[in-house]
Amino acid sequence: MDKKISTGVRIHDIHHGLIQSRGAIVETEFDLLKSLGASIQIATTIKDHEIINDLTPFYAAAGELKIEKPMAKEALSHLEELGFVRLQYHTGKRDIKRIDVLVPETQKIYHDFGEYFISENKSNLSSKAVDILEKLSSFPHKEKEIISDLDIDISEYDQIKDVCKSASLVDTYNSPTDSESILYSPLYWDDNPDKIFDLLKKHQSNELISAISKIKGYQGLPDGKFESDKILTDAIALGCLPTLSVSSTSGLKKFLFTPRTGVGKLEKNLLHKARVLISCVRYGENFAGITKIFSPERLINALLMRGFLKGHSESLMQYEPARNLGLVKIIPTGNRYEVHFIDNNENKLVFKMALEMLAIGDTSKYDNSEELARQILIPGNILHPTQTRTHVLKENSTEKSRSTVNRINDLLRGIE
């Protein structure tokens, strides 16, 4: 994944915990990260709309997303600077009377905010926090490896860990193999990944990072593109990677995806359906006997927006797994088969998730807070719900490290 895009994705991930966090270090070291995260959240919430004339429901919707009014105003300023909204004011520039929404596709949202953060951020703690979450998005790491690989001062690491732990962004446990402290993120893993550590007994962690990055760059990695990679074949054998199969005229083929554990029942169901949809399309891209699919994204968008795919002789077998999950209907037309989208809100979410996986190489966590905000924003007019990176985080209190306590004391005394 492009560095700027991945940075934007992690800012959005971090937002869901950071927006509920307070304290001296959060307000001084993580202030830009916090406001940009709120900006991305607002952008993904309003992106399917053209004009917002009434700011009262807008601020109410932001409030449902834990974004207070002053932060929502600051977020709109960032969005205006990036050209994602055009703001019209009453007299002067105090009260906004209208928002013209110009928010682009998800990939550009993440790219532009990632670029903005990289350019404007002055906090080493914030940048290292993003780097840590990027590493943890692939799999958990030993704390000592995180500190060494990212060249983090131990005092700064303690402060980052304290902030992120209190925001439910990271946690630790002892390795089952050597009892060393393991840092992981509940955003990506809720359970101890024993199978990953079985894999790391045979391979180096940098090999696994490279393998996961390969799949992120091509979700639904097909047969023929991973057999020579020993770590991927071992990961499949151990059950570390989601592997789906599709059969059509070229026989049974496997497709690999990045792991995502620690998800709720609803999200797990949506994610499985999105992977199945991608596998069906990847089959046509890589193994079609007659005409291969040139652009998976364009085809899925066509199926979603137009509602059907023109007749093709291979569609019956190729899209059978998607049909069996209630995503599509397959209708015979002579000796060909048309594929028709089954139009309902859940299937729209699945298609949006699949498109995001293809565009940014990552999956999104889901709960209903985005939809609650949308219902407040534009009551009764939710036509195209958009999958966004929304997480349910636990509230907890953690004991601060000595480094954090000392830093807070310095800040209170005016010492930089």
- Which residue ranges make up each domain of the chain? 3-170+367-412, 218-357
| Residue 83: count of CB within 10 angstroms of its CB | 11
Whole-angstrom Cα distance, residue 39 to residue 16?
12
pLDDT in tens, 58-99: 888 888 788 899 999 999 999 999 999 999 988 776 788 899
Question: Which of 52, 54, 116, 59 has its CA nearest to residue 83?
Answer: 116
Question: Which of 264, 257, 266 has its CA nearest to residue 215?
Answer: 257
CB 126 within 8 A of CB 29: yes
Instruction: Note the pLDDT of residue 271.
Output: 82
Instruction: Note the pLDDT of residue 260.
Output: 67
| Residue 347: count of CB within 10 angstroms of its CB | 20
Instruction: Note the pLDDT of residue 375.
Output: 59
- Bridge-based pairing of strands 221-222 and 251-256 is antiparallel
Instruction: Note the pLDDT of residue 339.
Output: 92
Whole-angstrom Cα distance, residue 118 to residue 7?
8
Q: What is the DSSP letter of 55?
A: H
Whole-angstrom Cα distance, residue 325 to residue 316?
14
CB 221 within 8 A of CB 233: no
Weakly modelled stretches of the chain, pLDDT under 50: 190-192, 378-397
Whole-angstrom Cα distance, residue 153 to residue 95?
44
pLDDT in tens, 332-363: 888 888 999 998 888 888 898 899 888 887 65
Q: What is the DSSP letter of 170?
A: -
Whole-angstrom Cα distance, residue 288 to residue 292?
5
SS3 state at 274: helix
Instruction: Note the pLDDT of residue 340.
Output: 93
Whole-angstrom Cα distance, residue 28 to residue 13?
20
From residue 177, give the alpha-carbon distance in Å to each of 16, 192, 200.
32, 12, 10
Question: Which of 89, 99, 117, 96 has its CA nearest to residue 31?
Answer: 117
Q: What is the pTM of this model?
A: 0.67
Please give the mean pLDDT across all residues of the chain: 81
CB neighbours of 161 closer than 8 A, spacing ≥ 6? 170, 183, 401
